[in-house]
Amino acid sequence: MIRTIEQRLKIPIWLVAFTIMIPTIASILGTSTVTVAVPHMAGAFGSTRDEVNWVVTSYMITHAIMLPISGWLENYFGRRNFLKIITVIFGAGSLICLISTNLNMLIIGRIIQGVGGGPFMPLSQAILLQVYPKEKHGVAMGIFSIAVMVSAIMGPAIGGYLVDNFSWQALFIINIPISVFSVVLIHCNVMNNPNRIKVNHPDIIGIIALALWLLSMQIILDKGQQYGWFDARWICWLAGFSAVMFMFFVVWELEHKNPIANLRVFKNLNFLVGTVLASFVNMAAYSTLCALPMFLQNLMGYTAQLGGASMIARSIACFAAIIVVSKIVNYIDNRIIIGLGFLMLGISTLMFTNINLEYSFICTILPNIIFGFGLIMAFIPISSLALSTLPKTDLASGAGMHSLCKCVTTAVTVSMTNTLVSILSQAHQVYLVGNLSQYNNAFQYKLSLLTAKLMHYSVYHVANIKANALLYKELLAQAKLMSFVDVFAIFALPAFLLIPCVFLFKMKKNN
């Protein structure tokens, strides 16, 4: 067996994994923790919520732009130098955010932070697959799962705790010592990629096309709901521009001699199937991660911190599943494990359709535990199989494209979830309002009963108006509740439909 550079230099594999996972976790938390601090930042700078949302959006855009080009940049600078550079950039961006005196300065800091944080996810995945021997790829992807899934799930709870007990600046303070510590660890424990390819001039046009596509797409997703989606002419024009930039980017990268993003990796069947399935896993994770806390906060009156805490059971299940799945992937056909994972994702998401206005915190535990196990059972083998058949020279670029597809899917899912809740809520409201009629005996009985009770505090006319208002408020709550039920059902369906696709994976026999 060919040993890796880290093994030849006697650097323990666990130390290499620890070194790269620390900044990776920090970069992922950079998105999930800040979302809960948006109202606090709006108050601090006297800005609207829509203006402060750019603090989140700017990081996501630059983060996404860096994903597909991370492999090229690694080859250009060398692995160790590139990791140190982006760690310093991430720390510098966090420092600018910390000392920001206005919103514009904060957004600039977040852009710089995104440039530094973006490459960590694909590079950590590629490095883990290279330094761990093939028979331990399950363990490698288990470690990667801790960074990606558990950080994303626990991010809102961590962010809510820091903001409620300290301030929103605390979200950035912790990144500075982490960055300094990580630079030292990277310098000592990470060697350059032995499969490094020398590259020439950067593909500037490809980078610009990628940036314009992602920027226009993110603006549409952020502002679409506010402006009625395609009812607004400027959104139609921007959508057309985004589609053109996407097509131009694809054609340019396929024709360019030294592309910034290697799209030819999609010719590999395992990579293509793995990327599609992994994108759905992200869709399932983030749809429930968005919808469940929204339901608990909007309808059940939970605080942001308690809404995030509802995911603790899922995080614990993920940790337990990582220990189990990372060991059994070497003995059981990975396609069976993925299929069972998708089945559990579908069943647990369907269990959330049982929500009602008397739903307790305890009721979220069992579905979240099943979801956590299903998430890891699908995520670990997919992450390994998707990249396992790529040449070593394409690992970093393949991991970048894999991460980009998941990132785009996540952005679309979050926007789609919010939009579906709003649209379906209005649809149910239109359907239910017909029951508030003078010809509906049940409604008239409830109205008269409530009016009689309120007459203890006011005259009949005022009591009747208040009773009508209270019943209409209950109707709005029921309409919103039904919209959440529909959303969970909609996102559960693909989990069952995609199970046959799992068997498109080609399994390599272990030698």
CA angle 259/264/269 to nearest 5° reads 160
Q: What is the pLDDT of residues 414-423, one digit of tens each?
A: 778 888 888 8
Instruction: Select 1-202's CATH number: 2.40.110.10, 3.20.20.80, 2.40.50.100, 1.20.1250.20.
Output: 1.20.1250.20
Does the pLDDT at position 361 exceed 70?
yes
pLDDT grade for 329, boundaries at 50, 70 and 90 = confident
Mean pLDDT confidence for 39-62: 77
Domain positions in the chain are 1-202, 203-259, 426-483
Look at residue 49 in the predicted model and tell me its pLDDT.
Answer: 67
SS3 455: coil
pLDDT grade for 305, boundaries at 50, 70 and 90 = low
| Residues 205, 206, 209, 211, Cα dihedral to 10° | -110
pTM for this structure?
Answer: 0.77
pLDDT grade for 1, boundaries at 50, 70 and 90 = very low
Between residues 308 and 181, the one the model is more confident about: 181
Q: What is the pLDDT of residues 130-163, one digit of tens each?
A: 777 777 777 777 777 777 777 777 777 777 778 7
Does the pLDDT at position 50 exceed 70?
no
Look at residue 3 in the predicted model and tell me its pLDDT.
Answer: 45
Residue 85: partners with Cβ closer than 8 Å, 6 or more residues away: 77
Look at residue 210 in the predicted model and tell me its pLDDT.
Answer: 84
Mean pLDDT confidence for 193-219: 76
Mean pLDDT confidence for 197-221: 79
Output DSSP code: residue 33: T
What Å distances lie between residue 217 and 65, 220, 303, CA to CA? 12, 5, 31
The average confidence (pLDDT) of the chain is: 81
- Which range, of 95-109, 185-199, 425-439, averages the lowest pLDDT? 185-199
Look at residue 344 in the predicted model and tell me its pLDDT.
Answer: 92
C-alpha to C-alpha distance for 454 and 48, rounded to whole angstroms: 38
- The percent of the chain in helix, strand and coil, each rounded to the nearest 5, is 80, 0, 20
C-alpha to C-alpha distance for 251 and 226, rounded to whole angstroms: 33
pLDDT grade for 438, boundaries at 50, 70 and 90 = confident
pLDDT grade for 6, boundaries at 50, 70 and 90 = very low
pLDDT grade for 195, boundaries at 50, 70 and 90 = low
Between residues 207 and 197, the one the model is more confident about: 207
Contact 83, 186 (CB under 8 A): yes
Q: What is the pLDDT of residues 461-493, one digit of tens each?
A: 777 788 878 888 888 888 888 999 999 999 999
Does the pLDDT at position 338 exceed 70?
yes
Look at residue 511 in the predicted model and tell me its pLDDT.
Answer: 41
Between residues 152 and 276, the one the model is more confident about: 276
Query: Could you give the percent of the chain with pLDDT greater than 70?
Result: 93
Structure tokens at 136: 């331990």
